[in-house]
């Protein structure tokens, strides 16, 4: 049940959007060759030269056979064959540059594509990353971009060379015997028709195949991330069974693609062979009955491959071209992914902040029609500590998402030092904002590099000073290699508490005006937490801070406590005021105090 469920669900999720116009795709891809115009133009020239060369070589070969050899002229043979050799040398020299430049052009285009996609990814907002799996994005940057490369490196130029070769060979043949040439030409509409029929089929199965492939990739990625759970719950066999279905499903799509291919490509080749059969009988009739000279038949036989080979090659390239376009389409779709919002062009750069934050009648919803915050209004004066209290789902995280400008308010205003948050440049806001969450992401590299992440130019002394001012220096130095300890992706190699120590130091180093602590000390052991609490007292001083915490001690000292319930502020005030109100906060506080003291009291 589980497996079928997941497969259909993902199908729905990716319900094919209408394919982009092929011409538009090609134009857009072509734009990427513009920065490398000299290579591109050189290539176009060289492909034309090569097309002429290839047809000429074949013509020269058959001309020598039909001329000097058929006439039994030794001197003519020597001259003709030397000319042929010279042509060969010239052709291969051109070939060398043709392939070198094409390879370079393809690689350059995908390098630029990767750069653009990466840059674009940096502008997308949190909502996008909630929708799109990391594995999928990676797939765009690997297999899809790879397909584009093939298209740029191979398809365009191979097709040009072959098309040109066909035209030039056609001219030679038409001059030789226009009746036979017309027969050859009459086959081309058949081929064109075959192309059209199969194009549609191929592109459909291709798209399905690559979609099902990214399902495979995403599943593997998730299985690796969740390996502890899988093994702990002994789900290996079930997952494997499930995965086998997924892979088999993918192979079905691949097979339907190959069935189309298997019909298409032999048919193309067949057309050449049919031509030879027809040529033989029609040519012979003309020679025997109409007394046309025989050399035209031989020339056509020898040059038939040159005239028809392009059809076969283009057929093969066609498939490659389609998968390139499918790849390109997927990459461009990602590039077209609009950030849910961008900074308005007239957005101002925030000056050095005082730290006044005001929520003015603000409402917010992630999904239209499902508001999670209702008409919030409150003011945090510079330097104040605001504690957010409430159950899971009461809206604390949403307030923080708004403060960091990960999302924009749906209605109402959020003012920072009087600037409406929509009208400020995100970077200038974030650079004055520090945030420590419960689960923080660390990057591959040393502890030192991870701390420096918040302030790229910081010296080692500065970093050590930051750690010292938080009284965490000894904890960092106690790591196996101190500040040089290697951290793996996501923080592998450090315990949760150690990661948090790094994140605190990282946040402090940025010297933010506004500080957000989102359940920041909850995963740290009591000893470290106590030390962080002490240090945070100093850190909070002079900064506006928003604290979501479990610890009453932090909340007690807050200048303003907001008690949230289902997205509304139900109580507000400082600890003394709220306790006196004897409302929700009071009850929560009682419960907490009871939890920590009740048994002790009974025993004393």
Partner 1 sequence: MAQSSPTDGAIIRRLFALAWRYRWGCLRVLFFQGAMLALGLAGIALTGLGIDELRHAIQPNTPAPFWRFGLHPSANWTPMEVIALLSALVIGAALLRAYLDFTYRIAVDRLVQAELVVALRAEIYEKLQRLSFRFFDANVSSSLINRVTGDVQAVRMFVDQVLLQAVVLTLSVGAYLFYMLSLHVPLTLACLFTTPLLWWVTARFSKIVQPAYRQNRELVDGMVQRLSENIKGMPVVQAFAREKEEMARFQTANDAVYDQKISIFRKVSLFSASIGFISQFNQWILLSYGGYLVIQRSLPLGTGLVAFAIILQQFANQITTIGTIANSLQESLTGARRVFEVLDTPAEVSSVPRASPFEALNGPIRFENVWFDHGQDPVLSEISFEVKPGQCVAIFGPTGSGKSMLMSLLPRFYDPTSGRITVNGRDLRELDLDSLRRNVGLVFQESFLFSNTIAANIAFGHPEATREQIERAARVAAAHDFIMEFPQGYDTVLGEGGVGLSGGQRQRLAIARAVLLEPAILLLDDPTAALDPGTEHEIAEAMDSAMRGRTTFLVAHRFSLLRRADFVVVLDRGRIAQAGTHEQLSRCAGPYLQALKTSQPGALPAMIGP
- Cα 563 from Cα 354, distance rounded (Å): 25
Q: Give the shortest CB-21-to-partner 1 separation in angstroms.
A: 29
| Pairing outcome for strands 560-565 and 371-380 | unpaired
* Number of Cβ atoms within 10 Å of the Cβ of 541: 10
Q: Give the shortest CB-92-to-partner 1 separation in angstroms.
A: 4
Q: Give the shortest CB-27-to-partner 1 separation in angstroms.
A: 24
Q: Give the shortest CB-211-to-partner 1 separation in angstroms.
A: 14
Measured from the CB atom, the residue of 368 and 604 that comes closer to partner 1 is 604
Measured from the CB atom, the residue of 146 and 381 that comes closer to partner 1 is 146
Residue 290, H or E segment = none
Task: Provide CB contacts within 8 A for 175, sequence distance 6+.
Answer: none
Measured from the CB atom, the residue of 167 and 247 that comes closer to partner 1 is 247
- Cα 72 from Cα 460, distance rounded (Å): 88
Measured from the CB atom, the residue of 104 and 464 that comes closer to partner 1 is 104
- Cα 187 from Cα 190, distance rounded (Å): 5
517 three-class SS: strand
Q: Give the shortest CB-268-to-partner 1 separation in angstroms.
A: 9
Q: Give the shortest CB-410-to-partner 1 separation in angstroms.
A: 18
Measured from the CB atom, the residue of 247 and 560 that comes closer to partner 1 is 247
Strand extents, DSSP E, 97-181: none
* Backbone torsion region of residue 95, taken as left when φ is above 0, otherwise alpha when ψ lies between -120 and 50, otherwise beta: alpha
Q: Give the shortest CB-384-to-partner 1 separation in angstroms.
A: 21
Task: Provide CB contacts within 8 A for 142, sequence distance 6+.
Answer: none
- Cα 394 from Cα 584, distance rounded (Å): 13
Measured from the CB atom, the residue of 320 and 404 that comes closer to partner 1 is 404
Task: Provide CB contacts within 8 A for 93, sequence distance 6+.
Answer: none
In contact, 274 and 184? CB cutoff 8 Å: no
Measured from the CB atom, the residue of 164 and 512 that comes closer to partner 1 is 512
User: Of 272, 263, 271, 273, whose CA–CA distance to 319 is shortest?
Assistant: 263
User: Of 543, 491, 553, 538, whose CA–CA distance to 516 is shortest?
Assistant: 543
Measured from the CB atom, the residue of 27 and 599 that comes closer to partner 1 is 599
Q: Give the shortest CB-284-to-partner 1 separation in angstroms.
A: 4
Measured from the CB atom, the residue of 24 and 74 that comes closer to partner 1 is 74
Q: What are phi and psi of 96, to 5 degrees?
A: -60, -50
Measured from the CB atom, the residue of 155 and 388 that comes closer to partner 1 is 388
Rounded-to-10 torsion of CA 477, 483, 484, 485: 60
**Rounded (5°) CA angle 319-324-326:** 95
Q: Give the shortest CB-399-to-partner 1 separation in angstroms.
A: 13
Q: Give the shortest CB-19-to-partner 1 separation in angstroms.
A: 24
């Amino acid at each position: 049940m589980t497996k079928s469920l997941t497969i259909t669900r993902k199908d729905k999720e990716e319900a094919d959007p209408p394919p982009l116009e092929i011409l538009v795709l090609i134009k857009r891809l072509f734009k990427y060759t513009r920065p490398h115009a000299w290579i591109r133009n050189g290539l176009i020239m060289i492909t034309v030269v090569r097309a002429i060369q290839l047809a000429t070589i074949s013509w020269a070969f058959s001309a020598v056979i039909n001329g000097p050899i058929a006439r039994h002229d030794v001197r003519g043979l020597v001259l003709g064959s030397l000319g042929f050799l010279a042509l060969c040398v010239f052709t291969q020299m051109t070939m060398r540059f043709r392939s070198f430049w094409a390879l370079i052009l393809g690689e350059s285009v995908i390098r630029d594509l990767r750069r653009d996609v990466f840059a674009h990814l940096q502008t997308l907002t949190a909502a996008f990353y909630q929708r799109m799996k990391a594995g999928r994005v990676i797939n765009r940057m690997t297999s899809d971009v790879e397909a584009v490369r093939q298209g740029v490196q191979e398809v365009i130029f191979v097709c040009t060379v072959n098309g040109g070769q066909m035209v030039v060979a056609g001219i030679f043949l038409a001059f030789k015997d226009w009746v036979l040439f017309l027969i050859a030409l009459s086959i081309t509409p058949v081929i064109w028709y075959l192309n059209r029929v199969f194009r549609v089929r191929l592109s459909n199965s291709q798209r399905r195949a690559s979609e099902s492939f990214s399902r495979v990739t995403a599943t593997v990625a998730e299985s690796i991330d969740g390996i502890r759970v899988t093994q702990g719950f002994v789900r290996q066999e079930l997952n494997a069974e499930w995965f086998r279905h997924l892979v088999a499903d993918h192979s079905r799509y691949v097979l339907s693609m190959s069935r189309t291919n298997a019909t298409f490509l032999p048919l193309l080749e067949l057309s050449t062979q049919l031509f030879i059969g027809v040529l033989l009988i029609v040519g012979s009739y003309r020679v025997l009955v109409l007394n046309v000279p025989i050399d035209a038949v031989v020339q056509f036989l020898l040059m038939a491959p040159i005239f028809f080979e392009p059809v076969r090659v283009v057929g093969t390239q066609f498939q490659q071209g389609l998968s390139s376009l499918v790849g390109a389409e997927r990459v461009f779709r990602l590039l077209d992914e609009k950030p849910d919002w961008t900074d308005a062009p007239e957005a101002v750069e925030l000056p050095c902040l005082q730290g006044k934050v005001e929520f003015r009648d603000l409402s917010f919803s992630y999904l239209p029609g499902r508001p999670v915050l209702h008409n919030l209004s409150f003011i945090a004066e510079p330097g104040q500590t605001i504690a957010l209290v409430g159950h899971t789902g009461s809206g604390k995280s949403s307030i923080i998402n708004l403060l960091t400008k990960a999302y924009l308010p749906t209605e109402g205003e959020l003012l920072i030092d009087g600037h409406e948050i929509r009208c400020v440049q995100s970077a200038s806001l974030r650079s004055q904002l520090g945030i420590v969450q419960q689960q923080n992401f660390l990057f591959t590299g040393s502890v030192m590099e991870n701390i420096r992440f918040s302030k790229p130019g910081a010296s080692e002394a500065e970093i050590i000073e930051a750690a010292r001012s938080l009284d965490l220096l000894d904890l960092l130095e106690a790591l196996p290699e101190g500040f040089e300890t290697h951290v793996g992706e996501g923080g592998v190699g450090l315990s949760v508490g150690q990661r948090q120590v790094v994140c605190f130091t990282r946040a402090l180093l940025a010297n933010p005006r506004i500080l957000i602590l989102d359940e920041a000390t909850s995963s740290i052991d009591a000893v470290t937490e106590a030390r962080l609490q002490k240090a945070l007292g100093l850190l909070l001083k002079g900064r506006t801070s928003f604290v979501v915490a479990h610890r009453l001690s932090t909340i007690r000292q807050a200048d303003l406590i907001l008690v949230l319930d289902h997205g509304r502020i139900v109580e507000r005030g400082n600890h003394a005021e709220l306790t006196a109100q004897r409302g929700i906060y009071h009850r929560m506080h009682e419960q907490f105090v009871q939890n920590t003291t009740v048994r002790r009291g009974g025993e004393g």
